[in-house]
Every structure is written in structure tokens, then in C-alpha cells.
């Protein structure tokens, strides 16, 4: 009697769609020395307050929240709105486009 129930549960589990745990939409820090950090700014300005510091290769997840702006400027001169996830810490801010590159989210 228990076998049909178990078989149904196994089949239902196999038919359920898998949730994506990775894919496009994240960034990695580039063009920053290994002994330096990329400043995450409160606003899209080099004069804005620093809200977080991103260590190359040790920065957790940097999610690109929208297009980098202004689109009229060359890529390296744009600012990108991001959310930085690092352990239990979550910070929103802006990074200069020349210091990040597209990456799949882990």
C-alpha cells in the first residue's frame, strides 16, 4: 500500500521544474589590483559616499540591477546600478563600468 504513494511522490518530484540557481545578470570585478578594492558608491558619482568595498576575487555576488548609464557615453564611462550580496550583508549602490564585466550568477 505504501509503494504506490512513494512512486507517486517520486514521479511528482521528477516532473516539478527545477529552479535556476545560475545564469546571466551578475558581474565580476576587473581592472583592480589584487591589493586594492572597487568602491561601491551611494550615487553614480566618484564624489558620492562609499557604501561598500569590493575585493577582486572575494566580493561575493554583484548583481546588475539595470542598464549602465548614461548610454550616450562610452562603456567605461558609464555607471552601473548593482546589489552586492556578501554572506548576510546586502548593499545597493553604483560601480564604474570599466571595473566590472558580465558573469554568470553562481
Question: Where residue 69 sits, what CATH number does that domain have?
Answer: 2.30.30.40
Q: What pLDDT score was predicted for residue 104? A: 87
Structural domain count of the chain: 1
60 within some domain: yes
Could you list the pLDDT tens digit for every one of the 106 residues in the chain? 544 444 443 333 444 333 334 556 899 999 999 999 999 999 999 999 999 999 998 888 999 999 999 999 999 999 999 999 998 999 999 999 999 999 888 8
User: Are 94 and 44 spatial neighbours (Cβ–Cβ below 8 Å)?
Assistant: yes
Looking at the domain assignment, is residue 46 inside a domain? Answer: yes
For residue 17, being part of any structural domain is answered with no
Identify whether 62 is part of a domain.
Answer: yes
Domain hosting residue 87, numbered range: 22-105
Identify the CA nearest to 103 among candidates 33, 22, 19.
22
Coil, helix or strand for 15? helix
Judge whether 8 lies within some domain.
Answer: no
Contact call for residues 44 and 92 (beta carbons, < 8 A): no
Q: What grid cell was written down for 59?
A: 566580493
Q: Is 53 among the domain residues? A: yes
End-to-end CA distance of the chain: 42
8 Å CB contact between 89 and 53: no
pLDDT of residue 16: 36
Amino acid at each position: 500500500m505504501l509503494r504506490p504513494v512513494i512512486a507517486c511522490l517520486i514521479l511528482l518530484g521528477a516532473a516539478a521544474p527545477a529552479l535556476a540557481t545560475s545564469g546571466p545578470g551578475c558581474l565580476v570585478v576587473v581592472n583592480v589590483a589584487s591589493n586594492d578594492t572597487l568602491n561601491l558608491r551611494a550615487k553614480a558619482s566618484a564624489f558620492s559616499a562609499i557604501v561598500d568595498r569590493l575585493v577582486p576575487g572575494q566580493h561575493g555576488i554583484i548583481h546588475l540591477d539595470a542598464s549602465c548609464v548614461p548610454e550616450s557615453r562610452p562603456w567605461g564611462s558609464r555607471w552601473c546600478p548593482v546589489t552586492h550580496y556578501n554572506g548576510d550583508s546586502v548593499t545597493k549602490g553604483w560601480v564604474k563600468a570599466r571595473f566590472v564585466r558580465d558573469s554568470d550568477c553562481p
